[in-house]
Amino acid sequence: MASATGVVVVGAGPVGLTLAIELARRDVDCRIVDRRGEPRPGTRGCSVWQRTLETFDLMGLPMADFRSRAVAYRRRVYHPFGEPELAVELGEDEGPYPLPVLIGQQETERALTGRLRELGVEVERGLRAVGVEQDAEGVLLTLQREDGTREEARADWVVSAEGAHSVLRDALGIRWHTTRFEGTQLVQVDAVAHGLPGDGPGEAHLYLTEDGFLGDLPLPGGRRRLFAAVADPDPGNRLDPSVHEVEAYVRKLSGRPDVRLESPLHNWRVRLHNSVAEKFRQGRCLLVGDAARTVMPVTAQGMNTGIQDAFNLGWKLAAVVSGAPDALLDTYSAERLPVAHDLIARTERSFWGGVGTPPTAEAVAAGVRKQQRARSDQAVGYRDGELSRQYAERAGLRAGDRAPQAPLTGRDGAMTTLYDELRSGDWVAVATTPLTGLPPGVRGAQPAEAPGPETAGPYALAPGESLLIRPDGYIGCRSGPGQEEPYSRYLEEVLGG
Ligand SMILES: Cc1cc2nc3c(=O)[nH]c(=O)nc-3n(C[C@H](O)[C@H](O)[C@H](O)COP(=O)(O)OP(=O)(O)OC[C@H]3O[C@@H](n4cnc5c(N)ncnc54)[C@H](O)[C@@H]3O)c2cc1C
């Protein structure tokens, strides 16, 4: 099958846009299509966690501008079953973005679309993927325009970023396992709220009562996101809730009968489920984001995890398009499928929607403290993965760990940082003395100034040690003093000779 395009990304939600940016940054010939004539409105995924901010920075998004449009998300105050409040500070003590932010998903998509445009790629709108066939040589994608006419697009690779209802996943026959939370529903609105506790800046309130769960988050512009997970009196009711219906739940679950909601936007009613695909790759077709796994919105992590999927896949797919062995793509599923399973297990353990036996206040307290670091996604790593090679037992960072931002000494002794180097899209090899014979696509750097924990921070290496950092900011390999250039062998195996 002759091919015309390197990669077609189907779906221009936050995840498809991220993937297209990662491909375009590396000059991969790619198209991105979306069935909608216009971007979807609505605040949906409004919590953007720390690792996602780091990722946006590495992708070259204008971070100061993006954050100026958002609310800095400082703390969550839990009100568990009438027990004393429990406040959890959201700041992480490490990394360039200690605080997550709250911002409507449409704004996040706008920022991603702007970055993609800067790289010379426009979303092709009004094109719906309706069929897919593949053989060893390529993929044939059928696209349908809004007027019903069809076009056939040939590509080397196709990625479905279509969201939960993926036509391509079904056409490929990839199994989709769903767990439903029968008997519960989520009703939600963004509104100006009167009569809820005075909020400190960036403060969310989460109420757990025997009748269910209520979340109250601040959004930019003065509205609050109010969402209630409660027993579902009428599973057949598909209509979005009126603001009065949500208001009644807010009053009941917050215990404040005087609450008033005004200026409502984006009223939603959803039935809750978690779903995951049995695999994320079939031949030349891949799944990312909600098309690969959908988690219920109360976790506030679906978009964030999807962006991490795309960031993991982007450099790998670009490398394969340029000739790396296609087994590299299997490491995408191997690394990201367990993250999806963990997230789903975590939400299933902690979810309370007013049906069954409520958790105890003590269990809630233990759970919220443990969950916070997991939510930031900074703790995600791939230590046991095939791409993680620890050649020497050393203290500190290990192969598979997230590589923290830190100052480094770059080419010609100039001061730089890890993120400045990674923004090129390349790998970064850090060693105390300049490494020789690095192949194209790998930048050499040294710890900042003289090696030592005070100056070099996490990159305080002993003479002769080296760290090779992947383009997505995870450590690929760590070698010890006197070892023969294991990074060269590693790169040869991963990227091909
Ligand atoms: C009410 C609500 C609140 C949420 N809150 C949060 C939160 O706080 N934090 C968080 O991280 N997540 C949250 N989420 C989840 C988040 O919105 C999703 O995880 C996220 O949108 C998934 O992104 P995606 O790009 O994978 O898919 P989508 O955003 O679903 O994008 C898919 C795109 O593909 C297009 N498309 C679909 N099929 C085709 C086709 N066949 N051909 C062409 N185009 C196609 C669609 O038009 C769409 O633009 C929330 C979701 C909801 C509904």
Question: How far, in Å, from the CA of 369 to the mean position of ligand 1?
Answer: 28
Distances in Å between the alpha carbon of 326 and those of 49, 136, 241, 316, 493? Answer: 31, 12, 47, 9, 12
Question: How far, in Å, from the CA of 165 to the mean position of ligand 1?
Answer: 10
* 49 Cα nearest atom in ligand 1: 11
Contact 382, 388 (CB under 8 A): yes
Question: How far, in Å, from the CA of 271 to the mean position of ligand 1?
Answer: 15
* 168 Cα nearest atom in ligand 1: 41
**The two three-digit tokens of residue 456, written as one number:** 């070099």
411 DSSP assignment: G
Distances in Å between the alpha carbon of 107 and those of 78, 220, 236? Answer: 28, 11, 33
Helices (H) and strands (E) in the chain, counts: 12, 28
Which residues on neighbouring strands pair with residue 428, listed in sequence order? 443, 469
Place of tokens 């970055």: 115
**C-alpha to C-alpha distance for 346 and 176, rounded to whole angstroms:** 19
Q: What is the DSSP string of 181-210?
A: -TTEEEEEEEEEEESSPPPPTTEEEEEEET
Question: How far, in Å, from the CA of 306 to the mean position of ligand 1?
Answer: 9
Atom 2 of ligand 1: nearest residue by CA position: 44
Question: How far, in Å, from the CA of 11 to the mean position of ligand 1?
Answer: 9
**C-alpha to C-alpha distance for 251 and 254, rounded to whole angstroms:** 5
H or E segment to which residue 254 belongs:
helix 243-254
**The two three-digit tokens of residue 411, written as one number:** 């080419």
Contact 37, 147 (CB under 8 A): no
Around ligand 1, the residues with Cβ closer than 6 Å are 10-16, 33-36, 40, 44-47, 105, 128-129, 161-163, 167, 188, 268, 289-290, 297, 300-304, 306
**The two three-digit tokens of residue 352, written as one number:** 């309370």
Question: Which residue type is seen at 17?
Answer: L
Atom 27 of ligand 1: nearest residue by CA position: 163
CA-wise closest residue to 284 among 322, 319, 335, 326: 326
Contact 15, 310 (CB under 8 A): yes
**The two three-digit tokens of residue 493, written as one number:** 């195996």
Question: Which residue type is seen at 23?
Answer: L
Question: How far, in Å, from the CA of 198 to the mean position of ligand 1?
Answer: 32
**C-alpha to C-alpha distance for 481 and 270, rounded to whole angstroms:** 56
Atom 29 of ligand 1: nearest residue by CA position: 13
Question: How far, in Å, from the CA of 96 to the mean position of ligand 1?
Answer: 27
Q: Which residues contact 350 (CB under 8 A, 6 or more apart)?
A: 359, 367, 371
Top mutation candidate among 303, 313, 377 for ligand 1, by most atoms within 8 Å of CB: 303
Question: How far, in Å, from the CA of 16 to the mean position of ligand 1?
Answer: 10
Contact 184, 283 (CB under 8 A): no
Distances in Å between the alpha carbon of 262 and those of 72, 194, 195, 223, 259? Answer: 23, 8, 12, 9, 10
Domains of the chain: 5-75+85-174+276-376 (3.50.50.60), 184-271 (3.30.70.2450), 389-495 (3.40.30.120)
Distances in Å between the alpha carbon of 466 and those of 397, 432, 490? Answer: 11, 7, 12
Contact 93, 133 (CB under 8 A): no
pLDDT at 454 (0 to 100)? 53
**The two three-digit tokens of residue 134, written as one number:** 């593949």
Question: How far, in Å, from the CA of 159 to the mean position of ligand 1?
Answer: 15
Longest dimension (CA), the chain: 71
Q: What is the DSSP string of 331-359?
A: HHHHHHHHHHHHHHHHHHHH---SSSSPP
Atom 21 of ligand 1: nearest residue by CA position: 303
**pLDDT string in tens for the chain (497-residue length):** 444 899 999 999 999 999 999 999 999 999 999 999 999 988 999 999 999 999 999 999 999 999 999 999 999 999 998 888 999 899 988 889 999 999 999 999 999 999 999 999 999 999 999 999 999 999 999 999 999 999 999 999 999 999 999 999 999 999 999 999 989 999 999 999 999 986 678 999 999 999 999 999 999 999 999 999 999 999 999 999 999 999 999 999 999 999 999 999 999 999 999 999 999 999 999 999 999 999 998 888 999 999 999 999 999 999 999 999 999 999 999 999 999 999 999 888 888 888 888 877 777 777 776 676 677 777 889 999 999 999 888 888 999 999 999 999 998 889 999 999 999 999 999 998 888 888 889 999 999 875 555 556 788 888 888 999 999 999 999 988 877 677 888 999 999 86
**C-alpha to C-alpha distance for 405 and 135, rounded to whole angstroms:** 42
Contact 106, 231 (CB under 8 A): no
Top mutation candidate among 124, 162, 271 for ligand 1, by most atoms within 8 Å of CB: 162
Q: Which residues contact 280 (CB under 8 A, 6 or more apart)?
A: 286, 287, 288, 292, 309, 332, 333, 336, 337
**C-alpha to C-alpha distance for 124 and 380, rounded to whole angstroms:** 33
Question: How far, in Å, from the CA of 448 to the mean position of ligand 1?
Answer: 41
Atom 6 of ligand 1: nearest residue by CA position: 45
Question: How far, in Å, from the CA of 463 to the mean position of ligand 1?
Answer: 47
Question: Which residue type is seen at 9?
Answer: V
Q: What is the DSSP string of 306-335?
A: HHHHHHHHHHHHHHHHTT--GGGGHHHHHH
Atom 39 of ligand 1: nearest residue by CA position: 162
pLDDT at 453 (0 to 100)? 53
pLDDT at 229 (0 to 100)? 96
Question: How far, in Å, from the CA of 163 to the mean position of ligand 1?
Answer: 5
Question: Which residue type is seen at 234?
Answer: D
Top mutation candidate among 44, 106, 266 for ligand 1, by most atoms within 8 Å of CB: 44
240 DSSP assignment: P
Q: Which residues contact 462 (CB under 8 A, 6 or more apart)?
A: 394, 432, 451, 480, 481
* 17 Cα nearest atom in ligand 1: 25
Contact 75, 204 (CB under 8 A): yes
Contact 39, 14 (CB under 8 A): no
Question: Which residue type is seen at 216?
Answer: D
**C-alpha to C-alpha distance for 339 and 378, rounded to whole angstroms:** 12
Residue 36's CB is within 10 A of a number of other CB atoms, namely 15
What's the half-sphere exposure (Cβ side, CA atoms, 13 Å) at 374?
16
Question: How far, in Å, from the CA of 298 to the mean position of ligand 1?
Answer: 14
pTM for this model (two decimals)? 0.96
pLDDT at 3 (0 to 100)? 47
Top mutation candidate among 34, 71, 313 for ligand 1, by most atoms within 8 Å of CB: 34
Question: How far, in Å, from the CA of 293 to the mean position of ligand 1?
Answer: 11
